[in-house]
Amino acid sequence: MKKKLIENLIDSYKSVIPISIIIVILSYLLNISNITIYSFILSSIFLIFGITFFTTGAEISIVEIGKSIGNFLVKKGKIFLTLIVTLIMGIVITMSEPDLMVLASELPSIPNSLMIVLVSFGIGLFLMLGVFRIIKRKSYKKIMTISLMIIMFLLYFTSMDFVSVSFDAAGTTTGPLSVPVIVAFGYGIAKFRSDKDSTGDVFGLGGLASMGPVIVLLILGLFYKTGSYFDTTGFVSDLGILERIINSFVASFKEIIVSLLPIVILFIISIIFGNKVTKDKIIKVSLGLVLTILGLTLFLTGAKAGFIEIGYLLGYNIASSSYSLLLIPLGLILGYIIITAEPAIKVLTKQISDLTEGSISRKMINLSLSIGVSIAVGLSLARVLYNIPMIYIIVPGYFIAALLMYFTPKMFINIAFDSGGAACGALTTSFLLPLCIGVCVFLERNVLSLAFGVGSLVCLTPIITIEMLGIIYDYKLRLLRTKKNLDETIIDYEVA
C-alpha cells in the first residue's frame, strides 16, 4: 500500500505541476489578483494529494465492488435479474452525480428533477443495453452505429441551443466514480465468457451508456428551450483563501458521500443475497473506500476552490487583451497537458493496461487522449471566438468516428468510446468550461450554446484519436507478423 501511494504521488505530481506552472505564469502576466493565484496554488496541492489517494483507493474499492457485483449477477444465471439490477444501478449512480445536478441547475427552463430523472434513466437504459450486448455477444459497432444514427436524426428536429448541452451531458454523467465501476462491472459480466472476444467486451459499456443522456436530452429539446440567460456571478469569489477551501471541502465531502452511497448499498445487498465476499476483502474494500472518499474530496475541493475562478478570469482577461488570438494555441497546450490529471482517466488507463496485460499501455492511451483533448479545447475556443454553431463540428466529427469503427480493431473501438466519456471530467467542468465562459462573457455571446460545447468536444475527439491509434497499432502488428513469417521462411530455406 505504501509503495503504491508513493508511486501514485509521483505520477500525480508530474501530471498537475506542468499545468499549474503555465496557469500561474499566465495569471501574473494578466495581473490576476494575488488571492486568486494563491488559492489556485493551494488548490493544486489539494489536487496532487487528492489524485494520489483516489487512484490508490479506487483500485481496491470501487473497482473491486464493480467486479464483485458483475460476477455475482452472472453466477445467478438469470439474464432478466441482471438487466434489471443494471438498470437500477445506472439510474441511482447517475442521479447522485454532482456534475449532473450542476448542469440541471444551469437550465432554468427545464425542471431540475425532470432533467435528472430522464438523464439518469437514459444512462440506465443504455447501460442495460450494453450488458445485454455482452451477454448475448452482439456487435458493438452495429449498436453504436444505430445509436449515432438516432442522434443525427434528432439533431434536425431539436433546437440548436440544445445541441451543446445535450452532448455535454454525456460527459457530466460519466464521472470519476461511475467510470471505474462501469468498466469493472463489465469485466465481471464478460469474465465468465470463454470466447476470444470476452476481454475486448470488458470495455465499451461506459461509452454506450453515455449515448443515453444525449438522446434523452435531444428529445427533451423538442419540448423545451435552453434560454439565453446564464448566471456568471458565482465564478468570482470575494471570500478569503481559508473560507474558500473550507466551503469547498464541506460541499465536496457531502457530494462524494451521496455519490458513493448507492454503489456501497448495491454491494451490501449483493452480499445479503448470497454474494460470497471474504472478511479480508471487506476490510480491504472498506479501507479503499476511505481513501477514495478522502482523495476525491481533496480533488474536488481543489477544483472548486482554485480552478473555476482562475479559469474564468484567464478566459475573460485574455479575450479582452490584445493577445486574444493566442487563445486557440493556448487552448491546444492546456488541453494536451490537463487530461492526464483527470482521476477517471488515471483509473481507466490503469484498467486498460492491466486487463490487456500491458499490450495496450497507459502511455499509448494517454498520448492519444492528450492529442484528442488538445484539439477539442482548441476547437472550443475557436467556436467561441468565431461564433461557430456546434452542429458544424459535432455532425462531421461523429460521422468520422462512426466511419473509423469499421477500420479499427474491436477492442480499440470499445476503449475509444469509454475514454471519450471519461475524458470529460472534473477538470473540464471546473477549468476548461469556465475558461470558455470567460471568453463568451467578454464577447457577449450565448454561453449555453457556445461555451458548453467544450465538454461535447472533449468527449468526441479522443474517440477519433484512439480509433486512429487502433488502426496504426493493428497495421504495425500485421507488419510484425509478416516479418516474423518471412524470417522463419528464410531460416527454413537455409536449413534445407
Q: What is the 3-state secondary structure (H, E, C) of 185-251?
A: HHHHHHCCCCCCCCCHHHCCHHHHHCHHHHHHHHHHCCCCCCCCCCCCHHHCCCCCHHHHHHHHHHH
**Cβ atoms of residues 37 and 27 within 8 Å:** yes
- CA 183, 185, 189, 194 torsion: positive or negative? positive
CA 148 to each of CA 144, 209, 334, 395, 414: distance values in angstroms, whole numbers, following the listed order = 6, 12, 29, 10, 15
Q: What is the pLDDT of residue 167?
A: 83
Give helix then strand counts, H and E, for the chain.
22, 0
CA 180 to each of CA 55, 148, 457: distance values in angstroms, whole numbers, following the listed order = 10, 24, 22
Q: What is the pLDDT of residue 195?
A: 63
Cell of 41: 496554488
* Amino acid letter, 264: V
Cell of 30: 494578466
CA 223 to each of CA 113, 117, 394: distance values in angstroms, whole numbers, following the listed order = 16, 16, 22
d(CA 441, CA 93) in angstroms, rounded, equals: 33
Query: Angle at CA 69, nearest 5°, toward 275 and 343?
Result: 140
**Cβ atoms of residues 144 and 405 within 8 Å:** yes
**Residue located via cell numbers 503504491:** 4
* Amino acid letter, 292: T
d(CA 147, CA 153) in angstroms, rounded, equals: 10
Q: DSSP 3-state assignment of 357?
A: coil
Cell of 75: 453466477
d(CA 496, CA 491) in angstroms, rounded, equals: 9
C-alpha closest to that of 463 among 391, 396, 369: 369
CA atoms within 13 A on the CB side of 340: 24
Q: DSSP 3-state assignment of 320?
A: coil
DSSP type of residue 159:
-
Cell of 254: 457531502
C-alpha closest to that of 252 among 143, 194, 177, 151: 177
Domain boundaries in the chain?
A: 2-470
d(CA 32, CA 24) in angstroms, rounded, equals: 9
**Cβ atoms of residues 414 and 140 within 8 Å:** yes
Q: What is the pLDDT of residue 496?
A: 40
CA 307 to each of CA 39, 47, 93, 285, 310: distance values in angstroms, whole numbers, following the listed order = 9, 10, 26, 31, 5
d(CA 405, CA 360) in angstroms, rounded, equals: 18
Per-10-residue mean pLDDT of the chain, 496 residues long, equals 84 90 92 91 93 88 85 79 87 76 66 83 91 87 92 85 78 74 80 66 84 89 70 73 89 86 86 85 91 90 88 92 87 90 83 79 89 94 91 92 92 88 79 90 85 86 93 87 66 45
**Residue located via cell numbers 470463454:** 194
* Amino acid letter, 251: A
User: Residue 57, class by beta-carbon neighbours within 10 Å (0-12 exposed, 13-18 middle, 19+ buried)?
Assistant: buried
Enumerate residues 6+ apart whose C-beta is below 8 A from 472: none
